[in-house]
Amino acid sequence: MPCITFIVPIYNMERLLPRALRSLRAQTLTDFEAILINDGSKDGSAALCVQAAAEDARFRFIDQPNGGVAAARNAGLDAARGEYIFFLDPDDWVEPDAAEVLYHTVRDADADCVEFGMFYDICDENGKLLHSETDHYTFSGVYRGEPFKEHFDKMASSYLAANKMYRRAFLEQHHLRFPPHQLGEDGMFFVAFYRQNPGCLVVLEKPLYHYVIARRGSLSNRYHPERLEDNFYLSDAVWDTVAAWGLLDSPMHRAKANYCTIRDLMMGIKNLGCSPLSLAEQTAWLRSALQKPRVRTAVRSTPLHAMQSRNDRVKLLLLKLRLYRTVLMLSGVNQRKNT
């Protein structure tokens, strides 16, 4: 059994995929497998995967019709043989000691999950690195017992799949897979994971993953009409988890779930800014969303300082003041800057 399975979902990444593959070949821990899932690419990505598998027996290739990143990752999970699972996006890359550091960390702690630091590599449209930032954790260490319940305020909205490594046996025991959403599938997977109340979590400050931000054409910057009907599925999953734990009366858990609701609302407003809908239609959607008691309560009770960006703090303030058209016009301006 390999120590780690790297799962790499690939769609039209011919230009950037070689960097990700080089970072895997450079790992100081050599006992791993890398499953490359070509998700119906129309460029030369499949050929690069075939070549990688031919040159290195640790690389395995799966070719399937386009079904989205969730389906590709699920195919990787079905085929995985490693003790732990690491999700690597093909336009990102990892530090040479990532596998070694993470594997020894989780084995020493007998952990179900390790979350680790990231580099945010800011690139121009041609992929040239402009500058790099690192995230900052408010806590780190080994947490046992019921770590996700006890540290819910710090962990509940850490939605990315790329900055965590999971014990495969735990995922299989609870039949955990990615749901078929175009947006938020990372978060849905993570919420489903911690809902099962893993017994040991490790948090490392050390940045090991390079998350490349050069994604003006990314899914988060496109219009998703399906979100008009179902915008709060991720925060609903968070609330359902709190309810399943019997902690709806806990102020800390309610405050964090309210924050997750606000994050979904901000994503809905961003989606409107990408849409062809008129301002009147956008305003009608926003007013309808704010009629939901859970959303209305979240807007009223979430403090401005809880929001991570200045832009979101301004939008939350405008929502509190019921300046809905102003929120939407601001969001539209921001989206036009990113296209």
Residue 49 pLDDT: 97
Q: What is the mean pLDDT of residues 69-92?
A: 97
Q: How confident is the model at residue 126 (pLDDT cuts 50, 70, 90)?
A: low
Residues 305-329: tens digit of each pLDDT: 999 889 999 999 999 999 999 999 9
Q: Where is average pLDDT lowest: 61-75, 129-143, 191-205?
A: 129-143
Residue with the larger pLDDT of the pair 91 and 132: 91
* 184, 196, 223, 274 from 220: Cα distances, Å: 9, 28, 8, 10
User: To the nearest whole number, what is the mean pLDDT of the chain?
Assistant: 93
Residue 231 pLDDT: 95
- Percentage of residues in the chain having pLDDT higher than 90: 83
Task: Report the 3 state secondary structure along the chain.
Answer: CCCEEEEEEECCCCCCHHHHHHHHHCCCCCCEEEEEEEECCCCCHHHHHHHHHHHCCCEEEEEECCCCHHHHHHHHHHHCCCCEEEECCCCCEECCCHHHHHHHHHHHHCCCEEEEEEEEEEECCCCCEEEEEECCCCCCEEEECCHHHHCHHHHCCCCCCCCEEEEHHHHHHCCCCCCCCCCCHHHHHHHHHHHCCCCEEEEEEEEEEEEEECCCCCHHHCCCHHHHCCCCHHHHHHHHHHHHCCCCCCHHHHHHHHHHHHHHHHHHHHHHHCCCCCHHHHHHHHHHHHCCHHHHHHHHHCCHHHCCCHHHHHHHHHHHCCCHHHHHHHHHHHHHHCC
Residue 131 pLDDT: 80
For residue 338, pLDDT over 70 is answered with: no
For residue 215, pLDDT over 60 is answered with: no
pTM of the model as a whole: 0.93
Residue 216 pLDDT: 45
Residues 238-254: tens digit of each pLDDT: 999 999 999 999 999 99
Number of Cβ atoms within 10 Å of the Cβ of 90: 26
Residue 139 pLDDT: 82
- Which residue ranges form the domains of the chain, and what is each CATH number? 4-213 (3.90.550.10), 223-337 (no CATH)
For residue 185, pLDDT over 70 is answered with: yes
Residue 251 pLDDT: 97
For residue 211, pLDDT over 60 is answered with: yes
Q: How confident is the model at residue 128 (pLDDT cuts 50, 70, 90)?
A: confident
Residue with the larger pLDDT of the pair 219 and 253: 253
Q: Which residues of 42-75 are buried (b: 16+ CB within 10 A; e: fewer)?
A: eeebbebbeebbeeeebbbbbeeeebbbbbbbbb
Residue 335 pLDDT: 61
Using an 8 Å Cβ cutoff, are 78 and 44 in contact?
no
Residue 28 pLDDT: 98
